[in-house]
Amino acid sequence: MIERPSARLILLDPQDRLFLFNVHDPKVFDPANPFFDPFWVMIGGMVDPGEDFATAAVREAREETALVVTGDVRWVWTRERRMSWRGKDVLHKERFFLARSATTEIDTSGLDERERSWTRGHRWWTQAEIEASPERFEPLDLGLRLKALLRDGPTGEPITLG
């Protein structure tokens, strides 16, 4: 099985709204919970060789949105899961980092051709909007996780997502 280290950014604006992309690539799915329709996901991607996870998360934000992350970047969640990635069996080793952006102006011109092909849109979401929405989010319990994170702040150790 191929291992894929990935960094995701829980990027909040000054109003505590979370930035998410709406994506659709039916060739990438969780075999334990297959889903082939568009869903919402945080900024993120693969960690390059020699790069640490936090640096990768910040780089992905700059590349995908042109947003500059300000202040601390805190590792708050972690997850490992097997994925079918365009016909390959891949073990995703994800770390989720909490960060803030002082602005909400998005420029997606830095998305590469493949990213543009699966990206359907983007927006800033409040925690309540996520929790009330019938749409699918990754992780599946994102609304509840974000609610706890906003209420309690980061814990001492990263929380392992199921």
Supply the pLDDT for residue 63: 94
Supply the pLDDT for residue 45: 92
Supply the pLDDT for residue 82: 92
Please list, in sequence order, all residues whose beta carbon lies within 8 angstroms of the beta carbon of residue 149, skipping any fewer than 6 positions away.
10, 76, 98
Supply the pLDDT for residue 70: 76
Reading the chain (162 residues) residue by residue, the pLDDT tens digits are: 899 999 999 999 999 999 999 999 888 888 888 877 899 999 999 999 999 999 999 999 999 999 989 788 999 999 999 988 888 999 999 999 999 999 999 999 989 898 888 899 999 999 999 999 999 999 999 999 999 999 999 988 999 998
Which domains does the chain show, CATH number per domain?
2-160 (3.90.79.10)
**CA-to-CA distance for 153 and 41, rounded, in angstroms?**
21
Find out whether 145 and 152 touch, Cβ atoms under 8 Å. no
Supply the pLDDT for residue 56: 96
Supply the pLDDT for residue 125: 98
136 CB neighbour count, 10 Å cutoff? 14
Radius of gyration, CA atoms only, the chain: 15
Supply the pLDDT for residue 31: 84
Q: Checking DSSP bridges between strand 39-41 and strand 28-29, what pairing results, if any?
A: unpaired
Question: In the numeric block, which tokens belong to residue 160?
Answer: 């392992």
Supply the pLDDT for residue 68: 85
Supply the pLDDT for residue 133: 97
Question: In the numeric block, which tokens belong to residue 45?
Answer: 């991607």
Supply the pLDDT for residue 20: 98
**CA-to-CA distance for 84 and 90, rounded, in angstroms?**
6
